[in-house]
Chains A and B, each alone.
Chain A
């Protein structure tokens, strides 16, 4: 149920970046969401549709790329995607796997119209 607050954060990041680029409209928001980030993409899309009303991001497509859970074995260094309920390293059977991806939650990029390209270039990542 915390998706509402999270979506508010997403929207504020998007609007700040759009303003920096002097965009007239945001057409697409691309997010990376880890499988274990505890965020439900459909729920996020739903809230975004509501919260973005009346802003530059109204009607923007919300594209969610889900990032699978991946482990790196601290014993043999092997990187692997654990199977449901099996977290041991498939190469050496060690249980010393460390989560390397799957908890991501970030705004990857946005697509905008009528942006001032000189200011857009200076925005970039932080």
Chain B
């Protein structure tokens, strides 16, 4: 006999994430889930953000497979930071973030940045209770990423293209990339964490917090 079930496989994650989201909303915390490939510049973007934060109070949750290298980089900026080591896991899930929140006082913050594990696939499926998702890409990764990984780009509010300072040395069709981001209906912010180009646009987005 057939038994109807209709149960979400990730129901536990989704429930926890929506509880966290409700909590964040209660005290007006803007939570950004930063996703992208290893080496795209997610941590560099966070560092640049922190040095331009002014009176914006930001806390950081750092996801990584191993090491606390990223958290150490962030801690130098004098902001609250928690490292999550996933062991081998390819993404952060809501329970990991929930645990991290025990070690950071988010009630005094304006913005919480969560740096996801470097990966353009798995993080898509796991709601972390975030307000906005951002995908960071970079010039050396190639101009075809939006076409190849549409799910993650479509789940984000903003696409950040990093390392634009090295575009003269790398074969990267900027027009094609811009078209593919526009095509999936997302906003593109072009930056260089090395030269500082475009970061004012990124900060403007973060300050207005328009998803």
CB pair B9–A36 under 8 Å, yes or no, is no
8 interchain residue pairs of minimum CB distance:
A95-B185, A36-B151, A125-B6, A107-B5, A105-B9, A106-B8, A38-B125, A9-B9
Q: How far is the CA of A38 from the CA of B123 in the complex (A)?
A: 9
Chain B: residues with Cβ within 8 Å of the partner, total of 29
For B122, give its contact among A1, A10, A105, A112 (CB under 8 Å). A1
Sample of 5 A–B contacts (CB below 8 Å): A88-B183, A108-B6, A123-B3, A125-B6, A125-B7
Within 8 A of A (CB), among B101-157: 121-122, 124-125, 147, 150-151, 154-155
Given known pairs A2-B89, A6-B9, A38-B122, the reply for A112 and B185 (CB within 8 Å) is no
Bitwise, A82-126 to B at CB < 8 A (1) or not (0) is 001111100000011101001101111111110101001001111
Q: Check if B124 sits within 8 Å of A38, measured CB to CB.
A: yes
Closest to A13 in B: B7
Task: Map CB proximity to A onto B172-211 as digits: 1 under 8 Å, 0 otherwise.
Answer: 0000000010111100000000000000000000000000
Is the CB–CB distance between B2 and A111 below 8 Å?
yes
| Shortest beta-carbon distance from B13 to chain A in Å | 9
Q: Are A105 and B10 in contact (CB under 8 A)?
A: yes
Whose C-beta in chain A lies nearest to the C-beta of B179?
A85
Partner of B2, one of A6, A96, A97, A110: A110
- Asked if A105 and B8 sit within 8 Å, CB to CB, the answer is yes
- Chain A 41-70: CB-based contact to B (< 8 A → 1; otherwise 0): 000000000000000000000000000010
Of A21, A36, A38, A107, chain B has the most CB atoms within 10 Å of the CB of: A38
Contact yes or no, B3 A115, CB < 8 A: yes
Q: Is the CB of B9 within 8 A of A10?
A: yes
| Chain B residues numbered 1-54 whose CB sits less than 8 Å from any CB in chain A | 1-10, 12
Verify B184–A95 contact, CB threshold 8 A: yes
B90 CB-CB contact with A under 8 Å: yes
- Whole-angstrom distance between the Cβ of A113 and the nearest chain B Cβ: 8
Interface centre among B4, B91, B180 (most CB of A within 10 A): B4
Given the complex, which residues of B lie within 8 Å of A9, measured CB to CB? 9-10, 12
A106 to B4, CA, bound (A): 11
A residues in contact with B9, CB < 8 Å: 6, 9-10, 13, 31, 105-107
Could you tell me the distance in whole angstroms from the C-beta of B16 to the nearest C-beta in chain A?
13
- Closest-by-CB residue of A relative to B126 is A2
A112 to B91, CA, bound (A): 34
Whether B5 lies near A115 (C-beta < 8 A) is: no
B29 CB, min distance to chain A CBs, angstroms? 25
Which of the residues A105, A108, A117 comes within 8 Å of B5, measured between beta carbons? A108
Cβ A107 vs Cβ B10 within 8 A: no
Determine the chain B residues whose CB is within 8 A of the CB of A120 once the complex forms. Answer: 1, 3
* B184, A110: Cβ atoms closer than 8 Å: no
**Given A9-B9, A21-B3, A108-B4, is A87 in contact with B90 using a C-beta cutoff of 8 Å?**
no
| B90:A39 contact, CB within 8 angstroms | no
Complex Cα distance, B125 from A102, in Å, reads 11
Q: What is the distance, in angstroms, from B36's C-beta to the closest C-beta of chain A? A: 15
Contacts of A96 in B (CB 8 A): 185
Contact of B183 among A39, A95, A99 (CB under 8 A): A95
